[in-house]
Amino acid sequence: MGTAARIALIKGDGIGIDVAEAAMQVAEAACSHVNAPALEFDDIHAGAGYFRDTGTDIEPGGEERAGSADAIFLGAIGLPAIRHADGTEISPHLRLRDRYGLYAGIRPVRAYPNAPQRLADPRAAGLDLIILRESTEGLFYSAAAHGRAQVIGDDEVRETLRITRSTTEKLHRFAFRLARKRHERGKRARLTCVDKANVFSSMAFFRKIFDEIAADHPEVEISYNYVDAQALDLVRRPWDFDILVMENMFGDILSDLAGGLVGGMGMAACAEIGDSTGLFQPAHGSAPDIMGQDKANPLAAILSAALMLDYLSEKTGNSSYAEAGLAIDLAVDAGFAANALRPMEFGGDMGTHAVTNAVLKHLGG
């Protein structure tokens, strides 16, 4: 079977604990189902609750242990009442992104049968696209370790938007590899560069690098869209898009918009990939008001676990991890098709444990 993969597990705050435990339960069952190597977990304490209790946002040595693992899985971090003195959230996650160069943020957007769909057009039932968000630069550069805002008295604040050639080249190369992988799996794979190149020099630079990388991949169909037009098109005709690559802040906004088209943040899986490691998490918040009440929808975390297993397949060279990830995807699809997944988030009658058990039941096909 091979050597077990080691997962740095940061459950975090609120429902992050609930959904992380559910996701790892499903991931372990999927590995067992396809005879993939077991997963080993290194629990790392971090988050707003840990900050409240200790004055630090991650346990000593936690960042180093996270980076040395085969992958990082994060439940959710943040509590509304616990902030830094300047009002910003407790966010060791942003520091992990920066430290380990997790530049490629993957946000799948997929419609499932019997899950809520916000668009009446029947084509919305077939939505299956990916938002690829650069995750270390852009406007979020100021929120990470390097930048910080320039505060001028009580009259002005300036944030730095940063686009570098080295990171942007890696992002666009990743985008074209993702298009090839999607095509190999029998899916349409047009790649769209989303920017504001008509106004900002930084965005014109972003597009320029996209064109340079595109020249090496003539087999991939490409297109362009300004971010404001893309927001409109995600409501008007999202089925026309396959992979959208964009700057950090644009991706932060459009991925939530797109997630709303297929049920909400409870379905919003996320992967953040760098050169040496990857971090996987549901993209929703910690919802501390329902923590421990068996009400959270664990599907975003479970689908993030599937992304993690697919990543482990490439990182370890063991294809059985990819089989385990696919088994999770198929189980979720089968569960929705059978109307056996009815999360409370969608007005259904199933809490965290019931949804998790339903996915486990469908792992066997």
Residue 348 C-beta-side C-alpha neighbours within 13 Å:
23
Q: Is 251 buried (19+), middle (13-18) or exposed (0-12) by CB count in 10 A?
A: buried
Q: How far apart are CA 246 and CA 248, in angstroms?
A: 7
Q: How far apart are CA 136 and CA 146, in angstroms?
A: 10
Name the residue among 340, 328, 313 with its Cα closest to residue 365. Answer: 328
256 is known as an active-site residue: yes
252 is known as an active-site residue: yes
Catalytic pick among 196, 242, 310, 311: 196
Q: How far apart are CA 134 and CA 137, in angstroms?
A: 7
Residue 59, φ and ψ in degrees, nearest 5: -65, 155
**Residue 112: strand, helix, or coil:** coil
Strands 243-246 and 278-282: unpaired
Catalytic pick among 42, 128, 256, 333: 256
H helix count then E strand count, the chain: 11, 12
Which tokens hold the place of 232? 């409109």
Please say whether the beta carbons of 138 and 248 come within 8 A: yes
Catalytic pick among 50, 141, 311, 321: 141
DSSP 8-state symbol, 283? S
196 is known as an active-site residue: yes
Q: How far apart are CA 159 and CA 143, in angstroms?
A: 9
53 is known as an active-site residue: no
The Cβ of residue 311 has, within 10 Å, a number of other Cβ atoms equal to 23
In b/e form, how buried is each residue of 312-334, taking b as 16+ CB within 10 angstroms? Answer: bbebbebebbbbbbbbbbebbeb
Catalytic pick among 18, 195, 252, 310: 252
Sign of CA dihedral 51, 20, 304, 322: positive
Catalytic pick among 53, 121, 228, 294: 228
List residues with catalytic annotation: 141, 196, 228, 252, 256
